[in-house]
Amino acid sequence: MTQEIFRDDAYCTEAEATVESCDARGIVLDRTIFYPKGGGQAGDAGTITRTDGTTIAIVDTVKGAPSPLGAGRGEGPPEILHIPAPDQNVVLSPGDKVKLRIDWERRHRHMRFHTATHLLCAIVPHQTNGCSITAGYARLDFDMVEPLDREHLERELARLVGEAHDVRTVWITDEELDAQPDLVRTMSVKPPRGVGRVRLLEIDGVDLQPCGGTHVANTREIGALRVAKIEKKSARTRRVVLEFADA
């Protein structure tokens, strides 16, 4: 099972790790700073460097099959597969020590956009039914029939960014959630049950919802946003596309 460094420290850009396996599916490590595509957020790119200094370019990170826990112990969370760019020499053996480095410029854009989508959840009081976060844009689909006003969204986003709210993750157990029905009521997305422990993303005084993604530490770090598009995707879906205003 891979230790997920990005869950506790989204700002970690370099780390050392040991190779667990390397095959046609990708590279599995004992620990990683590469976020695997999931929860709408794109996977990380970067490099894996061998002890001899040669480097493997990683173009994407994805979740694979559940990880084996050993004889009779069932299955763990999905493996994290680091996908090498094509046409490289990708010979790695279990036990090899490697240095990891993520494409920070790309990841930081994912973090800024991901936190921005949570702000949007706080502004638009409707459930979401789709989400895509890339380095170029963030797209969020709301389950609603009312029209959305671009100027209102941009103004409110700018206000919440400018107010510089702290962003933090909080782990909470099923029992703690059951004991606080009011807390669950305030969440813009309802937490899953039966997994024992849920990771919540809290934007101080603004939004609280379960999320496994990577986020900036303060909303001011998001910077200026523009609502690039508001689309009526279906009778019951309104799609909002965000871009950075300086891009």
Number of residues that bind Zn ion (CB under 5 A): 2
Q: Which stretch binds Zn ion (CB under 5 A): 30-38, 158-166, 175-183, 210-218?
A: 210-218
Please say which residue, 57 or 172, places its beta carbon nearer to Zn ion: 172
Residue 36 is a binding residue for Zn ion (CB under 5 A) = no
SS3 at position 20: strand
Q: Which of 154, 207, 150, 217 is nearest to 183 (CA)?
A: 207
Please say which residue, 20 or 44, places its beta carbon nearer to Zn ion: 44
Please say which residue, 61 or 115, places its beta carbon nearer to Zn ion: 115
Beta-strand ranges (E) seen in 125-224 are 128-133, 138-143, 167-173, 197-203, 207-210
Please say which residue, 26 or 213, places its beta carbon nearer to Zn ion: 213
CB of 213 to Zn ion, least distance (A): 4
Residue 191 is a binding residue for Zn ion (CB under 5 A) = no
Exposed / middle / buried, residue 221 (Cβ in 10 Å: 0-12, 13-18, 19+): middle
Looking at residue 46, its amino acid is G
Question: CB of 117 within 8 A of CB of 207?
Answer: no
Shortest-Cβ-distance residue relative to Zn ion: 211
First-to-last alpha carbon distance for the chain, in angstroms, is 38
Residue 211 is a binding residue for Zn ion (CB under 5 A) = yes
Interface residues with Zn ion (CB under 5 A) are 211, 213
